[in-house]
């Protein structure tokens, strides 16, 4: 076959996140890659609450409108990301005019307005939504975010209910990272089971897939695919990228371009990727894809978190200004060896 989407046809959707530069239409080179190789899209940032509703009742729909229109024009499966997430949620959501926390009643009303406005606007056009993102911590407990603090765990069920009411036809997902972690796997499965027992519509579980060359183990990842599929929902890999860089702790937010002391240690491949690491990345991609193909009856979509290395958030986390190589296309939008192998299969 000639492209990723043809190679994976009949198996699962192959998707990518689109960033602002792409959504504005300016980056025709990477958009050509999207058209050729992918059949599903998600917006990397423009549907997040801080961006789409920066002030109460004031919506910034233009980028999301463009994103959806582009997806329709090119026959893409369109996923909305994300309705309820602690990060990138604007402060006004949780506070009154004097800056005090709002009551559960007010927060629930704001959640409902937000979900009805966003999902309602794209009803029948956006095929699925990441309704709740990252509500469970790695130890399996609920994340103590502001939704949880003010409303309690019920905010999750409410979000799914509001989304269903706003667009009964859209598929509704729970999405999270570190899903290969056994404690998290168990907690997410328990959460989904609880919702199902109450008759609350939930159609799928998104496993983000921000992984490294060694971690997590494929075995644990596979156990999660199986455990989630056993709940009777779709399983998706929603934000796949494979960092090749060390992940230092306690350095969050630092900008290494101004910190020469750590530059070599934290940005070891700025001058180019050694062949051995490039090969390790290819191998790792192929072993993940082999796993996905093995479970193609359970997996409905595999989405990369970006088109090419130059755009990846990985270059900026946990320190800014690094040179990572986490995606399937290089900085010049050339397909990497993993793409060639997948297409040749």
For the bound state, the minimum distance from the C-beta of residue 48 to ligand G3I, rounded and expressed in Å, comes to 6
Smallest separation, CB 134 to ligand G3I (Å): 7
Task: Report how far residue 216's alpha carbon sits from residue 242's, in angstroms, rounded to the nearest whole number.
Answer: 11
The binder of ligand G3I chosen from 142, 263, 313, 333 (CB under 6 A)? 313
CB-count exposure of residue 197 (10 Å: 0-12, 13-18, 19+): exposed
- Closer of 239 and 267 to ligand G3I (Cβ): 239
Q: How far is the CB of 35 from ligand G3I (least distance, A)?
A: 21
Query: Do you find a cis peptide bond into 216, omega within 30 degrees of 0?
Result: yes
Nearest in space to 239 (alpha carbons), one of 317, 326, 170, 159: 326
Q: Which is nearer to ligand G3I, 1 or 88 (CB)?
A: 88
Helix runs in the chain, H state only: 4-7, 20-23, 28-37, 49-52, 62-73, 104-121, 146-151, 154-166, 182-197, 218-229, 260-266, 275-294, 337-344
Q: Which of residues 189-218 bind ligand G3I (CB under 6 A)?
A: 208
272 sits in the region (left: phi over 0; alpha: psi -120 to 50; else beta) called left
Is residue 220 flagged as an active site residue? no
The CB-of-10 to ligand G3I minimum distance in angstroms stands at 28
Compute the least distance from the CB of residue 87 to ligand G3I, in Å: 6
- Rounded CA-CA distance 126/123 in Å is 6
- Could you give the CA distance from residue 136 to residue 191 in angstroms, rounded to a whole number? 9
Site stretch for ligand G3I (CB under 6 A), options 44-52, 97-105, 256-264, 275-283: 44-52
Give residue 321's region: left, alpha or beta (phi > 0; psi -120 to 50): left
Contacts of 94 (CB under 8 A, 6+ apart): 101, 102, 107, 146, 150
**Nearer to ligand G3I by C-beta: 83 or 233?**
83
Applying the rule CB under 6 A, the residues between 123 and 162 that interact with ligand G3I are: 133
User: Using CB under 6 A, which of 45, 95, 251, 341 touches ligand G3I?
Assistant: 45
Residue nearest to ligand G3I (CB): 313
Name which of 59 and 313 has its Cβ closer to ligand G3I: 313
- Contact between 44 and ligand G3I by CB under 6 A: the answer reads yes
Selected from 161, 171, 239, 267, the binder of ligand G3I by CB under 6 A is 239
Hey, is 199 helix, strand or coil?
Answer: coil
Provide the CA 4 distance to its chain's centre, in angstroms.
Answer: 20
Among the options 154, 239, 265, 283, which is catalytic? 239
Closest to ligand G3I by CB, 7 vs 41, is 41
- Output 3 or 178, the one with its CB closest to ligand G3I: 178
Binding site for ligand G3I (CB under 6 A): 44-45, 48, 87-88, 133, 177, 208, 239, 313
Instruction: Show which residues are catalytic.
Output: 239
């Amino acid at each position: 076959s000639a492209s990723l989407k043809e190679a994976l046809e009949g198996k699962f959707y192959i998707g990518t996140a689109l960033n602002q530069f792409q959504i504005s239409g300016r980056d025709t080179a990477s958009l050509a890659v999207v058209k050729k190789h992918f059949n599903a899209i998600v917006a990397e940032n423009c549907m997040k609450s801080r961006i789409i509703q920066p002030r109460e009742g004031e919506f910034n729909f233009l980028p999301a409108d463009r994103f959806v229109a582009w997806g329709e024009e090119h026959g893409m499966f369109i996923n909305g990301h994300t309705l309820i997430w602690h990060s990138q949620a604007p402060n006004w959501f949780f506070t009154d005019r004097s800056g005090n926390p709002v009551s559960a009643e007010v927060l629930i009303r704001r959640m409902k307005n937000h979900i009805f406005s966003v999902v309602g606007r794209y009803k029948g056009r956006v095929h699925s939504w990441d309704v709740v993102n990252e509500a469970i911590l790695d130890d399996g407990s609920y994340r103590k975010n502001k939704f949880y603090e003010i409303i309690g765990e019920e905010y999750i069920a409410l979000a799914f209910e509001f989304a269903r009411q706003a667009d009964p036809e859209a598929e509704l997902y729970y999405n999270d990272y570190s899903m290969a972690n056994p404690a998290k796997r168990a907690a997410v499965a328990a959460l989904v089971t609880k919702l199902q027992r109450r008759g609350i519509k939930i159609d799928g579980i998104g496993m983000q897939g921000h992984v490294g060359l060694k971690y997590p183990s494929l075995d644990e990842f596979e156990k999660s695919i199986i455990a989630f599929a056993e709940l009777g929902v779709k399983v998706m890999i929603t934000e796949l990228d494979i960092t090749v860089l060390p992940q230092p702790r306690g350095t969050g937010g630092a900008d290494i371009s101004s910190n020469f002391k750590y530059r070599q240690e934290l940005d070891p491949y700025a001058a180019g990727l050694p062949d051995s690491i490039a090969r390790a990345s290819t191998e790792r991609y192929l072993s993940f894809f082999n796993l996905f193909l093995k479970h193609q009856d359970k997996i409905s979509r595999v989405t990369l978190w970006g088109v090419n290395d130059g755009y990846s958030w990985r270059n900026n986390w946990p320190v800014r200004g690094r040179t990572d190589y986490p995606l399937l296309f290089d900085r010049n939008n050339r397909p990497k060896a993993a793409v060639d192998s997948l297409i040749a299969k």
